[in-house]
Chain A
């Protein structure tokens, strides 16, 4: 099993640009989670999906952030426009209905907004 796949692994962009982060969950997993990790705030859940449907997006910081899951094998997290304070490591994780607490994390995307 390839595990959770995220791309790109690193992204450097300028303030105001659109950023799209991508995630491929583990095949057969029906839960998908997007997290953000910073030194200041630690690891925060942004949004999660169940069977491709967004269940809770209360962690999304503001309207500049949006997430989609068009099918069971792909999700995107988009930031438009990006700001320097969005600089962080963004993780995607997936899990199953039977064991929601066992989340499998991807390697993360390190985002730097200049």
Chain B
């Protein structure tokens, strides 16, 4: 069974204080690992897809990296508007079906 564990559950940062969110996964063959951002009362918003170990992707203050067992979402010099819940999901290479498994998320609060 595919599993995704995100840590920490909650993270409070001061504006400008860089940090990383972790997503550990076990999957029977990784097709892709996804990061989403979810604001309160809204649907998740797609951020990145990573396909293979060693891959990195960046968007503004966010950088996602991938190893064979985990992914990190690095947040550099965060701002209050980066406050949100960040979700990680994996998709396994199993037949032709597309069933992502989501983690519970990390709730990030950035204080001004």
Residues on A lying within 8 angstroms of B by beta carbon are 4, 31, 42-45, 48, 55-56, 58-59, 91, 93, 100-108
Contact = CB atoms under 8 A, between A and B. Distances in A.
B43 A102 contact: no
Contact of B42 (A43, A56, A58, A107): A107
B78 interface: no
A27 B34 CA distance: 23
Contacts of A107: 41-43
A58 B99 contact: yes
A102 B48 CA distance: 8
A87 B100 CA distance: 22
Contact of B45 (A45, A55, A105, A108): A105
B18 to A, nearest CB: 27
The A contact surface, by secondary structure, is strand
B98 A48 contact: yes
Contacts of A44: 102
Nearest to B97: A56
B66 interface: no
A101 B87 contact: no
Interface centre among A43, A45, A91, A106 (most CB of B within 10 A): A43
B43 A42 contact: no
The 10 closest A-B pairs by CB, nearest first: A105-B43, A43-B102, A101-B49, A56-B97, A42-B104, A105-B44, A91-B43, A102-B46, A101-B32, A42-B102
Interface in B21-56: 32, 34, 41-46, 49
